Amino acid sequence: MSISLTSSKIAPKGLAQLGLSRKGPALFWTLTEGGRASVEMTSFVLLRRLLKRLPKGDGHPVIFFPGFVASDRSTKPMRKLIDDLGYETYGWGLGRNLKFNDVREAKMNLLLEKVYKTHGRKVTLVGWSLGGVFAREVAKSNPDMVRSVISLGSPISGDMEHSNAGRLYEFFNGKPDAKMEARLKSINEAPPVPTTSIYTKTDGVVAWKGSIQRPGKTPSENICVPASHIGLGVNPLVMYALADRLSQDEDKWAPFKAEGLKRFAFK
Note the pLDDT tens digit of each residue in 197-220.
Answer: 999 999 999 999 999 998 888 999
Multiple choice CATH, 12-249, 3.60.21.10, 3.40.50.1820, 3.40.50.11890, 3.60.15.10: 3.40.50.1820
- State which H helix or E strand residue 137 sits in: helix 130-141
Which pLDDT score, from 0 to 100, does residue 188 have? Answer: 87
pLDDT surpasses 70 at 15: no
Asked if residues 153 and 128 have their Cβ atoms less than 8 Å apart, the reply is yes
pTM: 0.87
Output the CA angle 29-81-195, nearest 5 degrees: 65
Handedness of CA 54, 55, 61, 65 (dihedral sign): negative
How far apart CA 266 and CA 22 sit, in angstroms, is 27
Which pLDDT score, from 0 to 100, does residue 172 have? Answer: 64
Half-sphere exposure of 244 (CA within 13 A, CB side): 16
Instruction: Identify the bridge partners of residue 125 per DSSP, sorted by sequence position.
Output: 63, 149
> 159 or 22: which carries more pLDDT confidence?
159
Cα separation of the two ends of the chain:
25
Residues 6+ apart with CB under 8 A from 189: 140, 216
